[in-house]
Amino acid sequence: MAAYDDLMAHQRETEALSQVAGRLGWDQETMMPREAAPQRGAEMAAMETVLHARRTDPRMADWLAEAETSGPVEVAQLRHIRRSYERASKVPAKLASQIARVTSEAQGKWAEAREADDFAAFAPVLKDVVSLKREEGAALSAGGDVYDAMLDDYEAGATAAELSAMFDALRPRLVALRAAVLDAPAPAALQGKFDEGAQMKLSRQIAKTFGYDMAKGRVDKAVHPFSSGSGLDVRITTRTSETDPFNCIYSTIHEVGHACYEQNIDPDYLLTPLGQGVSMGVHESQSRIYENQIGRGRAFTGWLYGQMRDAFGDFGIADEDAFYATVNRVENGYIRTEADEVQYNLHVLLRFDLERALIARDIEVDDLEAAWNERFEADFGFAVDKASNGVLQDVHWSVGLFGYFPTYSLGNVYAGCLNDAMRDKMPDLDATLARGDTSHATRWLRENVQTHGGLYAPRDVIEQACGAAPSEGPLLSYLEEKFNGIYGL
């Protein structure tokens, strides 16, 4: 076992350094003084150099060749380490540093272009990003499908063909559901103002209700909600809006879903490749099932209604049923991150199809805005009014995250499957949720998904938990039943 032990000792240090780099990212979004950015850039680049050198350390090839394993945990550790080593070794250091430099610049240009609603100002640097990412994808795919190689970074083993099959089945029924819902009379919207301190207090309480361990994490405010870290230090951020307490509450529940996944992984895997969520898709399945199938369900919102009245007094919603409808109100909108459950995946599918076409050279950057606007109108029935509400709304492409978007919808599909399986096992689950007790639901997710960390392949985690191969069916049935009910269709 000498080679295996040496390899794992090296890897544990790499994982620890990766946690440090992640925490620097957290600090940048929450605590960093505003004029510290140039120094921070140098610090992040230095951490990246160190991590890259460790991931491509020539000794790793020998250790990997010589390591003997004696069980499924060791086999899985080696699988992850080999994958990471091969991935890092395929990309020339010069290309990796070019991508780092260009995407860092592109992020700034994107922010300026979005501010100015001017896609043409962003297009030149986006072309550079796409060109470099195509080059990287070609190096990674070694003759295979370039987009699949990119996707593999976020969702090991997934292919665009498999996702397309699911998403093509989702799209028409979501378009139809959306049209029907928006034709029906809408539930009341929330009115008035809600103290932001009270929102944070309630959100922290809800985070604990979902089992988030505050002794191994913390909640801060940031411009964009996120979860950061693995193991014993998993932090989340949320945000507040005086007129929209749901933004704070459901951002918190969403990030708590991500954070609980990290916190609930088998502690034996701490600071190893198994000690973190296995893929972006499985991660998103946890954040979405916490947020939606549990958090926006009739049972839990009944409890939440009482909590909100305790926190804010009477806010003009008459009863639990009306509150449930208000929480799940569907509205026209341009922005993915603000979308409701019915429309969210339509936003993602649009991006998936466009970025695949872009990487396959079926379209080019200069076609992107027109293609976006055409597809948006086809699915949503109205035109994009400006680039910041359209092709410029998301940061992802500027930082080179091609292959990331589809994991959002894959996570929603997985959440649908898990929700079905969980409720099959626990037919009375809603009785517990109705009194604000999420422990039965979160325990089932912990035992069937979260505790495994990276032990199984992403798709296998879901298949084992559900007893069936994942498909889009459960998500569609759930959405149609829920929204037909709320909207009386």
Query: Where in the sequence numbering do the catalytic residues fall?
Result: 255
Amino acid at 277: G
Q: Which stretch binds a second copy (CB under 8 A): 15-23, 245-253, 311-319, 355-363?
A: 15-23
Instruction: Quickly tell me which residue has 């932001």 as its tokens.
Output: 196
Instruction: Please report whether residue 13 would count as binding a second copy according to CB under 8 A.
Output: yes
**Inter-residue contact 38 to 82 (CB < 8 Å):** no
Strand pairing partners for 219? 236
CB of 188 to a second copy, least distance (A): 39
| 270 sits near a second copy (criterion: CB under 8 A) | yes
Residue 3 is a binding residue for a second copy (CB under 8 A)? no
Euclidean distance between the first and the last CA atom of the chain, given in angstroms as a whole number = 63
Q: What is the distance between the alpha carbons of residues 154 and 345, in angstroms, rounded to a whole number? A: 18
Using CB under 8 A, pick the residue from 45, 61, 121, 468 that binds a second copy.
45
* 214 touches a second copy (CB under 8 A): yes
Residue 223 interacts with a second copy (CB under 8 A)? no
CB of 82 to a second copy, least distance (A): 21
Answer for which of 52, 171, 216, 375 binds a second copy (CB under 8 A) is 216
> Tell me, what DSSP letter sits at residue 275?
S
Which of the stretches 30-38, 138-146, 198-206, 435-443 binds a second copy when contact is defined by CB under 8 A? Answer: 30-38
Can residue 52 be called a binding residue for a second copy (CB under 8 A)?
Answer: no
Per CB under 8 A, 36 contacts a second copy: yes
Q: Are 359 and 402 in contact (CB under 8 A)?
A: yes
What CA–CA distance (Å, rounded) separates 159 from 145?
A: 9
Phi, psi of 395 (to 5 degrees): -75, -20
User: With binding defined as CB under 8 A, does residue 12 bind a second copy?
Assistant: yes
Kindly state the tokens that stand for 102. Answer: 């260009």
Altogether, the residues listed in the chain come to a count of 489
Nearest to 354 by CA among 316, 403, 315: 403
Q: Among 47, 91, 139, 357, which residue sits at the site for a second copy (rule: CB under 8 A)?
A: 47
Among residues 6, 27, 430, 463, the one that binds a second copy under rule CB under 8 A:
27
Question: What is the full DSSP assignment across 322-333?
Answer: HHHHHHT-----
Could you say whether residue 9 binds a second copy (CB under 8 A)? Answer: no
Q: Can residue 186 be called a binding residue for a second copy (CB under 8 A)?
A: no
Decide: is 396 part of the binding site for a second copy (CB under 8 A). Answer: no
Residues 228-267, mask of contacts with a second copy (x by CB under 8 A): ---xxx-x--------------------------------
* Segment lying near a second copy (by CB under 8 A), choices 41-49, 297-305, 429-437, 471-479: 41-49
Dihedral Cα 422, 428, 430, 434, nearest 10 deg? -140
Does 111 participate in binding a second copy (rule CB under 8 A)?
no
Task: Name the β-bridge partners of 193.
Answer: none
DSSP state of 159: -
Q: Which stretch binds a second copy (CB under 8 A): 209-217, 252-260, 361-369, 375-383?
A: 209-217
> Which residue blocks in 391-468 are alpha helix, DSSP H?
405-425, 429-433, 439-448, 458-466
Residue 46 touching a second copy (CB under 8 A) = yes
Using CB under 8 A as the binding rule, whether residue 271 contacts a second copy is answered as: yes
Q: How far is CA 343 from CA 177, 178, 300, 385, 409, in A?
A: 9, 7, 22, 18, 11
What residues contact residue 399 under an 8 Å CB cut-off, 6+ apart?
103, 106, 107
Chain-centre distance for alpha carbon 178 = 23
Stretch that binds a second copy, among 9-17, 100-108, 130-138, 336-344 (CB under 8 A): 9-17
Q: Which of 19, 237, 251, 442 binds a second copy (CB under 8 A)?
A: 19
34 binds a second copy (CB under 8 A): yes
Instruction: Find all residues with CB under 8 Å of 66, minimum gap 6, and list them.
Output: 2, 3
Nearer to a second copy, 232 or 322 (CB): 232
Task: Return the amino acid letter for 358.
Answer: L
User: Can residue 434 be called a binding residue for a second copy (CB under 8 A)?
Assistant: no
Distance of CA 447 to the CA centre of its chain: 21
Could you say whether residue 183 binds a second copy (CB under 8 A)? Answer: no
Which stretch in 16-24, 86-94, 174-182, 373-381 sits in contact with a second copy by CB under 8 A?
16-24
User: Binding to a second copy by residue 217, rule CB under 8 A?
Assistant: yes
Residue 218 interacts with a second copy (CB under 8 A): yes or no: yes
50 binds a second copy (CB under 8 A): yes
Contact call for residue 43 and a second copy (CB under 8 A): yes
Binding-site member from 3, 25, 29, 32 for a second copy (CB under 8 A): 32
The first and second tokens of residue 107, run together, are 């992020």
User: Quick check: 476 and 416 in contact, CB under 8 A?
Assistant: yes
The C-alpha atoms of residue 396 and residue 262 are separated, in whole angstroms, by 23
For a second copy, the binding residues (CB under 8 A) are 12-14, 16-17, 19-20, 23-24, 27, 31-40, 42-43, 45-47, 49-50, 213-218, 231-233, 235, 270-271
